[in-house]
């Protein structure tokens, strides 16, 4: 008998692995949970701050909670193969919901909690979810609003009863009540649950995750137990993750990374997942927990660095001098010390003193005192930002991944960390670069299929299992590290035939703290132009310091001095772009500072904050036209969507600026 | 004399209980000015009762009569079935009446948590000495009170500012902290003096949700004064309308909306 647990399974908290294929015999999430409850049952599995105190659950308590809910779900009528949507902020209960769904034979589908109701309607309908587990009233309201469009939707379970007392409860159930019902029928339903778990194997579906959808509708990526468990295993081994590690779960539960870190790796390694009290308290909670394994997108690191710098400017003269003195030293020797390279004795003494005076307290404030492994991914990170954290002694590394790969494609091994590569292939991953520059990979993590979308599956994954990343890149010959240039479909040609790689330029622009977001245009055109979003924190702080009055984002964005600063940044970037022979055509000739922030609610960014080029091009067609017709001013009206889904519009007259471009010296010389 | 009838059921199915407070023929004068002229109405257990009216109608005076701050020259206030004697503000608080203020009155230098804890004052029994050595009963009492304070912080979603000094908070959040402090007293009657004043649309929506949830979750009886007609009509179970110190309407929001006197008062008809 081939089962998830091998033969000789006994339920009720105890199991014995007798035989199985593969090394471990742990073929499903429920199997891993049982192992953890047995092997380190009294170790902490989850913490959540609530009512000002960290509440905690051990692995055996977690198993009890998960089983109770699973029994309750079976009692409610969940059938094997059903999809159960999970919507809410990171909370232990919702992680348990996903495991309970698996124990009931169903497939969890975590969805982005900040999606508006109509966005949610699409994924709920597409997944055909019969059951929804929602965090609070806000999520419940959204599902109720669109339930008319969801023929398969039947029942909803909610976690926080607040505000829901008066709702019609014919389709609504409180989480704890479902658990109680499950507990009451434990004896009756346990054999059914055991049967459903027993049929789970490496090929059964573990989870379905929706891509953020840079272009078009989100796609449901089906990941099998093999994908999730194999990837979790090899990546945990790659970084030596231990049972005693701590992570902070604060990124959207619908994102593949969170599923792998907080469910896959957490179960595999048995470490503790910590959930913040609310989204706003994340930084305080980070500091209190002091995670040992930490992931954040570049934007989070950027924001933290900006905050440190702004606060240092308010510090006394002595502290400022000390900070800058030791930071300069850290930049010189910090990364080398971290990589274990030889560093002079006096430099080490000075670094040690710096640790005592500056680095240690600073890391403590940031919540990074205990970080052993830190990752950033999703976007390119500015070299200065990256070096800042590494020089403090924080082992920050980059990885490159995708939902379709169950995250891991490449990662940087300790000691080989650089800001311009994304590392070497992870264990078990094969890479190849097609002649057009697109990166392909094959690994145990390669997804099963796009749900209800055979056409896209075939486009992305070939018969041999190679998957197109959609990114253009190359492998460095001497180091074997992968470097990503841009999204393959965004790489184009300018009218002159020169290569057009917008992301390359945008990243250079975004490395300036004053610039939050940039969008570069130029495909099939004579010259490049750009949209720029200022960073309100950085620019606002600058304005305050220089007594520049402004009443709104729009006014600040249009301030002549701000425009002049941005222009200087653009010209710096042009100079740096000109040095690259291949991409020198991408210098920005004209730009505009946008009057509003690009926003996911307006569809301009994905929920993971990636730029949606086509939509921006359509929406701001009038401004783009003005960028190319030589006009100096452009008047525009833009529709905006508020968080609650209502729409409004803002009008503005924007000034178009021209930026000096640098001569392409090398190219001339080469010819 | 008192109306002790059984209460009623609201449109959304909530059961409203007996009378908590009754105003009987209240008249309040400042020198020669009659701020309130012979007004009678009641507040029932579990309901959201609004007092509205144009500027200078006497709403705030009415709230001060309810809270015991002003003593009416004529008429009687009945609280929980008995005539209420003249009382000091702290005695009123002990009786289970809490309030917020139109102009925020918080301890600016103290943290949000400490401000909310002051709302628990009437529930603390250990003396100064016990508090000072903080052993046994005092410690247990503070822990219990902190637990309630934290529930309210969680309820009003102000966890992120728990340790922030109140002086550093924006206006909208201060309003919420003041509400938290009032709620911490676990009042049997909560008086809100213009809870939405000076707020933007989003803050008003949040505040409305908190008021409704509070009533729903804790069964708190709420009497509120408010300018914003839309808000009042959405929130309240029954509304008293005042104009020039007189009661010109009393009933459900729909009744009041269709009352000709109320329409005249708000749209402006010349007074003879």
Q: Nearest chain B residue to A165 by CA: give it.
A: B216
Per-residue confidence band for A2, with pLDDT thresholds at 50, 70 and 90: very low
Query: How far apart are alpha carbons B240 and A270 in whole angstroms?
Result: 61
**Given an 8 Å threshold on Cβ–Cβ distance, is A52 in contact with B14?**
no
All residues of chain A having their beta carbon less than 8 Å from the beta carbon of residue B211 are none
Who contacts A624 (Cβ-Cβ below 8 Å, separation ≥6)?
Answer: A521, A529, A617
Given CB atoms, is A277 within the 8 Å cutoff of chain B? Answer: yes
Mutation for B interface: A51, A285, A287, most B CBs within 10 A: A51
**A612: in domain:** yes
All residues of chain A having their beta carbon less than 8 Å from the beta carbon of residue B160 are 277-278, 280-281, 284
Mean pLDDT, to the nearest integer, of A364-392?
89
All residues of chain A having their beta carbon less than 8 Å from the beta carbon of residue B153 are 51-52
Mutation for A interface: B112, B154, B176, most A CBs within 10 A: B154
Q: Is A160 helix (H, G, I), strand (E, B) or coil?
A: coil
Looking at residue B270, what is its pLDDT? 60
Per-residue confidence band for A486, with pLDDT thresholds at 50, 70 and 90: confident
**A233: in domain:** no
Query: How far apart are alpha carbons A535 and A305 in whole angstroms?
Result: 13
| Minimum distance, in Å, between the CA of residue B220 and any CA atom of chain A | 14
Q: What is the pLDDT of residues A620-657, one digit of tens each?
A: 999 999 999 888 888 888 888 877 777 888 888 888 98
Question: Which phi and psi (to 5°) does residue B254 adopt?
Answer: -65, -45
**Structure tokens belonging to residue A276:** 């913040």
Q: Nearest chain B residue to A277 by CA: give it.
A: B159
Burial grade of B205 (CB within 10 A; 0-12, 13-18, 19 or more): middle
Length of chain A: 671
Burial grade of A280 (CB within 10 A; 0-12, 13-18, 19 or more): middle
- Low pLDDT (below 70) residues in chain B: 1-5, 267-272
Q: What is the pLDDT of residues A48-80, one digit of tens each?
A: 999 989 999 999 999 999 999 999 999 999 999
Q: What is the pLDDT of residues A570-606, one digit of tens each?
A: 999 998 888 877 778 889 999 999 999 998 888 888 8
Query: How far apart are alpha carbons B153 and B148 in whole angstroms?
Result: 9
Q: Nearest chain A residue to B212 by CA: give it.
A: A163
C-alpha count within 13 angstroms, C-beta hemisphere, residue A554: 11
Residues pairing with A46 in the sheet: A57, A273
Given CB atoms, is A318 within the 8 Å cutoff of chain B? Answer: no
Q: What is the pLDDT of residues A202-241, one digit of tens each?
A: 999 999 999 876 667 889 999 999 999 999 999 999 999 9
**Given an 8 Å threshold on Cβ–Cβ distance, is B213 in contact with A163?**
yes
* Tokens 């507040």 sit on residue: B43
Nearest to A51 among B12, B154, B209 (CB): B154
Query: How far apart are alpha carbons A44 and A58 in whole angstroms?
Result: 4
Q: What is the pLDDT of residues A128-152, one digit of tens each?
A: 999 999 999 999 999 999 999 999 9
Looking at residue A8, what is its pLDDT? 38
- Domain harbouring A111, CATH code: 3.40.50.12780
Mean pLDDT, to the nearest integer, of A287-293?
94
Domains and CATH numbers, chain B: 1-96+189-272 (3.40.50.300), 103-186 (3.40.50.300)
**A245: in domain:** no
All residues of chain A having their beta carbon less than 8 Å from the beta carbon of residue B151 are 51
**Given an 8 Å threshold on Cβ–Cβ distance, is A277 in contact with B159?**
yes
Nearest to A166 among B13, B205, B209 (CB): B13
Count of other CB atoms within 10 angstroms of residue B120: 20
**Structure tokens belonging to residue A478:** 């001497």
Mean pLDDT for chain A overall? 88
Looking at residue A7, what is its pLDDT? 39
| Minimum distance, in Å, between the CA of residue B32 and any CA atom of chain A | 47
Query: How many contacts (CB atoms, under 8 Å) link A and B?
Result: 38
Residue percentage of chain A with pLDDT more than 70: 95
All residues of chain A having their beta carbon less than 8 Å from the beta carbon of residue B209 are 163
- Domain harbouring A625, CATH code: 3.30.300.30
Nearest to B216 among A51, A166, A284 (CB): A166
**A370: in domain:** no
**Given an 8 Å threshold on Cβ–Cβ distance, is B213 in contact with A162?**
yes
A225, A240, A260 - which closes a domain: A225
Given CB atoms, is A166 within the 8 Å cutoff of chain B? Answer: yes
All residues of chain A having their beta carbon less than 8 Å from the beta carbon of residue B212 are 163
All residues of chain B having their beta carbon less than 8 Å from the beta carbon of residue A277 are 159-160
Question: Residue A245: is its pLDDT beyond 60?
Answer: yes
**A274: in domain:** no
Q: Does the structure's ipTM exceed the value 0.90?
A: no
Nearest to A278 among B151, B157, B205 (CB): B157
Looking at residue A391, what is its pLDDT? 92
Per-residue confidence band for A664, with pLDDT thresholds at 50, 70 and 90: low
Q: Is A159 helix (H, G, I), strand (E, B) or coil?
A: coil
H-assigned helices in chain B: 59-66, 89-94, 112-118, 128-133, 137-155, 171-184, 201-218, 229-235, 253-257, 260-267
Q: Higher-confidence residue: A496 or A153?
A: A153
Residues pairing with A132 in the sheet: A85, A156
All residues of chain B having their beta carbon less than 8 Å from the beta carbon of residue A50 are 154
Helices (H) and strands (E) in chain A, counts: 24, 28
Cα angle: A622, vertex A625, A628; to 5 degrees: 155
Q: Nearest chain A residue to B208 by CA: give it.
A: A163
H-assigned helices in A104-224: 117-127, 137-146, 175-184, 186-198
B207 within 8 A of B175, measured Cβ to Cβ? yes
Mean pLDDT, to the nearest integer, of A509-535?
89
All residues of chain A having their beta carbon less than 8 Å from the beta carbon of residue B159 are 52, 277-278, 280-281
Given CB atoms, is A564 within the 8 Å cutoff of chain B? Answer: no
Q: Tell me how many domains chain A contains.
A: 2
Given CB atoms, is A280 within the 8 Å cutoff of chain B? Answer: yes
**A350: in domain:** no
**Given an 8 Å threshold on Cβ–Cβ distance, is B160 in contact with A50?**
no
Q: Nearest chain A residue to B205 by CA: give it.
A: A644
Question: Residue A670: is its pLDDT beyond 80?
Answer: no
Given CB atoms, is A278 within the 8 Å cutoff of chain B? Answer: yes
Give the range of the structural domain holding residue A97, as residue numbers without chain letter. 29-225
DSSP A260: I
Looking at residue A16, what is its pLDDT? 35
**A71: in domain:** yes
Per-residue confidence band for A513, with pLDDT thresholds at 50, 70 and 90: confident
- Strand pairing category for A107-111 and A83-87: parallel
Query: How far apart are alpha carbons A609 and A297 in whole angstroms?
Result: 10
**A188: in domain:** yes
Nearest to B151 among A51, A277, A644 (CB): A51
Mutation for B interface: A49, A50, A52, most B CBs within 10 A: A52
A169, A201, A225 - which closes a domain: A225
Q: Which of A50, A66, A56, A65 is nearest to A108 (CA)?
A: A66
Nearest to B159 among A163, A166, A281 (CB): A281
């Amino acid at each position: 008998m081939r089962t998830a647990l091998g033969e000789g399974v006994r339920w009720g908290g105890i199991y014995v692995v007798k035989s199985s294929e593969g090394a471990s015999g742990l073929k499903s999430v429920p199997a891993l949970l049982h192992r953890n409850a047995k092997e380190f049952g009294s170790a902490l599995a989850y913490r959540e701050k609530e009512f000002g105190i960290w509440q905690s659950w051990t692995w055996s308590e977690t198993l009890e909670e998960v089983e109770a809910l699973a029994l309750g779900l079976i009692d409610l009528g969940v059938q094997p193969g059903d999809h159960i949507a999970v919507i809410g902020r990171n909370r232990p209960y919702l992680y348990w919901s996903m495991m309970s769904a698996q124990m009931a034979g169903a497939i969890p589908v975590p969805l982005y909690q900040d999606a508006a109701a109509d966005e949610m309607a699409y994924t709920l309908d597409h997944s055909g979810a019969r059951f929804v587990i929602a965090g609070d009233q806000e999520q419940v309201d959204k599902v109720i609003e669109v339930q008319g469009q969801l023929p398969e939707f039947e029942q909803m379970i909610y976690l926080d009863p607040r505000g829901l007392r008066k709702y019609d409860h014919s389709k609504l159930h409180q989480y704890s009540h479902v658990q109680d019902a499950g507990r009451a029928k434990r004896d009756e339903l346990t054999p059914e649950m055991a049967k459903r778990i027993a049929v789970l194997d490496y090929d059964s579906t573990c989870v379905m995750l929706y891509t953020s959808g840079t272009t078009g509708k989100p796609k449901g990526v089906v990941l099998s137990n093999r994908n999730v468990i194999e990837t979790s295993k090899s990546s945990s081994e790659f970084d030596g993750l231990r049972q005693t590690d701590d992570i902070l779960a604060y990124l959207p539960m619908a994102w593949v990374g969170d599923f792998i870190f907080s469910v896959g790796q957490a179960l595999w390694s048995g470490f503790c997942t910590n959930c913040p009290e609310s989204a706003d308290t994340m930084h305080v909670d980070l500091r209190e927990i002091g995670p040992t394994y930490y992931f954040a997108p570049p934007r989070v690191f950027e924001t933290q660095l900006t905050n440190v710098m702004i606060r240092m400017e308010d510090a006394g003269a002595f502290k400022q001098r000390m900070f800058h003195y030791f930071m300069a030293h850290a930049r010189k020797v910090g990364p080398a010390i971290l990589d274990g390279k030889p560093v002079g004795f006096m430099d080490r003494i000075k670094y040690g003193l710096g640790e005592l005076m500056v680095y240690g307290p600073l890391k403590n404030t940031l919540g990074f005192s205990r970080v052993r492994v830190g990752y950033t991914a999703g976007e390119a990170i500015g070299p200065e930002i990256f070096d800042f954290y590494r020089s403090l002694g924080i082992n920050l590394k980059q990885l490159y991944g995708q939902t379709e790969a169950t995250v891991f494609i490449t990662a940087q091994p300790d000691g080989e960390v650089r800001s311009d590569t994304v590392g070497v292939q992870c264990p078990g991953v094969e890479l190849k670069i097609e002649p057009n520059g697109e990166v392909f990979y094959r690994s145990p993590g390669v997804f099963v299929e796009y749900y209800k979308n055979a056409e896209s599956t075939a486009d992305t994954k070939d018969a041999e299992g190679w998957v197109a990343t959609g990114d253009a890149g190359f492998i460095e010959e001497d180091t074997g590290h992968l470097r990503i240039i841009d999204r393959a479909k965004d790489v184009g040609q300018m009218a002159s035939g020169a290569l057009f790689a917008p992301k390359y330029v945008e990243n250079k622009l975004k490395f300036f703290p004053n610039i939050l977001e940039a969008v570069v245009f130029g495909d099939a055109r004579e010259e490049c132009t750009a949209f720029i979003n200022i960073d309100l924190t950085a620019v606002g702080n600058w304005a305050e310091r220089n007594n520049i009055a402004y009443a709104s984002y729009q006014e600040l964005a249009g301030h002549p001095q701000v425009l002049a600063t941005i222009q200087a940044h653009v010209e710096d970037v042009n100079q740096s772009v000109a040095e690259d022979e291949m991409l020198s055509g991408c210098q920005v000739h004209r730009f505009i500072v946008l009057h509003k922030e690009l926003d996911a609610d307006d569809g301009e960014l994905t929920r993971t904050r990636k730029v949606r080029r086509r939509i921006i091009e359509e929406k701001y067609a009038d401004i783009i036209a003005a960028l190319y017709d030589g006009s100096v001013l452009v008047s525009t009206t833009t529709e905006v969507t508020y968080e609650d889904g209502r729409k409004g519009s803002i009008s503005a007259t924007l000034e178009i600026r021209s930026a000096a471009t640098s001569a392409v010296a090398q190219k001339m010389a080469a010819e | 004399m008192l109306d002790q009838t059984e209460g009623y059921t609201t449109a959304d199915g909530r059961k409203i209980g007996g009378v908590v407070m009754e105003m009987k023929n209240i008249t309040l004068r400042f020198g020669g000015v009659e701020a309130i002229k012979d007004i009678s109405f009641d507040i029932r257990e579990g309901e959201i009762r609004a007092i509205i009216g144009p500027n200078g109608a006497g709403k705030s005076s009415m709230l001060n009569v309810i809270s015991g701050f002003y003593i009416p020259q004529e008429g009687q206030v009945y609280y929980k079935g008995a005539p209420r004697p003249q009382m000091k503000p702290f005695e009123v608080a002990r009786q289970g009446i809490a309030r917020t203020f139109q102009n925020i009155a918080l301890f600016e230098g103290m943290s949000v948590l400490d401000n909310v804890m002051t709302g628990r004052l009437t529930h603390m029994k250990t003396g100064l000495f016990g508090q000072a050595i903080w052993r046994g009963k005092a410690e247990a009492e503070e822990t219990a009170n902190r637990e309630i304070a934290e529930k309210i912080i969680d309820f009003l979603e102000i966890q992120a500012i728990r340790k922030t000094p109140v002086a550093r908070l924006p206006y909208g959040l201060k309003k919420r902290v003041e509400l938290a402090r009032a709620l911490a007293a676990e009042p049997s009657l909560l008086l809100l003096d213009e809870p939405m004043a000076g707020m933007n649309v989003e803050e008003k929506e949040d505040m409305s949700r908190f008021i409704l949830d509070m009533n729903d979750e804790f069964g708190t009886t709420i009497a509120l004064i408010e300018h914003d007609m839309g808000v009042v009509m959405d929130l309240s179970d029954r509304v008293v309308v005042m104009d020039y110190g007189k009661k010109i309407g009393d009933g459900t929001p729909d009744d009041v909306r269709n009352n000709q006197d109320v329409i005249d008062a708000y749209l402006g008809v010349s007074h003879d």
